[in-house]
Structure 1
Amino acid sequence: MKSLIARAAITAATAFATPAAGAVYTASANGETAFVTAFQFDGSSAEFYGHTYVSGSANTPVDLARSDAAVFFFLESATSGSGAVSVGLLLDAPRDGTPGRTELRVSGHLEGASVAASDDDGEFDGAAMRGSFTWWACCSDGVLLDGVPDAPLALSFAFEGSAGLSAVYVASPDGQGGARLTQLGKGMADIVTLGGGLSAALSQDVPVPAAFPLLAGGLAALGAARLRGRRG
């Protein structure tokens, strides 16, 4: 009986720590920090980004773009590289009727990183890790980097002269084939920092509340069994 109760408690603890798909990273901006789970994709990063000149925008498999916002995401793809991850940034949403612009400088642990995709050739310099983005009311903008070292991941995105951007979001898989977006503070940030790799068990995708009753029940039963043993 005691062994069964102990196994129930262990099962509950395991459910509490069940890892989500993809590694977990952190993103900080406007004084707030969030956990971000990487998307997983069998094809290349460029295929995930899916830029089309018909729409003039990225066309990711899940809806990540948000109007007048900068959206960051992590990606594990066939071209991300060993010991590395891909990092994406989408600026604005297509066909929302608002143009915009921003200057971007990326710094940090970037050895081996390269540009996997961007909306316009030459808009982002992969050697200098600097970009100058301008988009019209019809379109959006952005860039996706391959081969970003994730041991440890440490990046800083510095924005200057931003117009048409009023928020920062991070995107993670929602576990149902879509995306969950989390806003970091209020307004557009001058600096966004990305870090990692935390254990996937810390992902916000883990159904933590559902594990608590099972864990509590197992521990309570174990305690009752011990008490009966002492009385006997």
Structure 2
Amino acid sequence: MSDVLDLVEMLGRRSQPISVSAAAVSLGLPKSSCHRLLTLLVAKGYVERVEGKLYRLVRPVGLGGLTPFQSKLAGIAEPILAAAALRSGVSSFLTVLLGSGCLRYIVKKLPAGQEMVYDRDISRDREPSLVASGKCLLAYGSAADTKEAEAIRAAGLVVNLEGVMEGASGVAAPIFSVSGECLAAVNLAGPRSRFSGRSLDTIIAECRTTADAITAHLAESAEGAAS
């Protein structure tokens, strides 16, 4: 049972499909065992086979429609994002890319005591290229070889002053695994009037700090599980 959960978590962390051989190496399983588990997940509708020999997660499992890993990540990130919303005065979100290529918001924290608050319906998935956190995640994907992606990786963050929603702006920064894989992104968003001058500098610094804090807590969690 633990092997199949480990496989689902690994697939849930990936934005690109994976081969049986690569999945087996990643999990330390025999190739035949990994193929059997993938075949089971395909039959149950949780995984799909693409391009003949690659696999990707298409139906999340776990609490609230999240994979076990995403549920764990949300639990780690929630108090950190709440503190970020309080300090910055803008809304904070945690986002991931699904195997389908869509963007999913898995945590939302709104700032208290603000006259104007940017809210967002996180019950539906979105096209990642249209929002700051999606652009951030795409920039760290295996197929990210555009000039925009290179610029994002060089800066380590995305600033989007002209959001999809009129009058809104956002900043996003990546969250990494111990091995350096981009797993998710932090997004701080709010009214465009907040994103200028020193306020923008403060929000950018807060976004970086928040993403780094979640990355550090994930590393501590991984070390604790290994010991």
Shorter-chain TM-score category?
under 0.3
Q: Greater Rg, structure 1 or structure 2?
A: 1
Higher strand share: 1
- If the length of structure 2 is used for normalisation, what is the TM-score? 0.25
- If the length of structure 1 is used for normalisation, what is the TM-score? 0.24
* Structure possessing the higher relative contact order (Cα contacts under 8 Å, 6 or more residues apart): 1
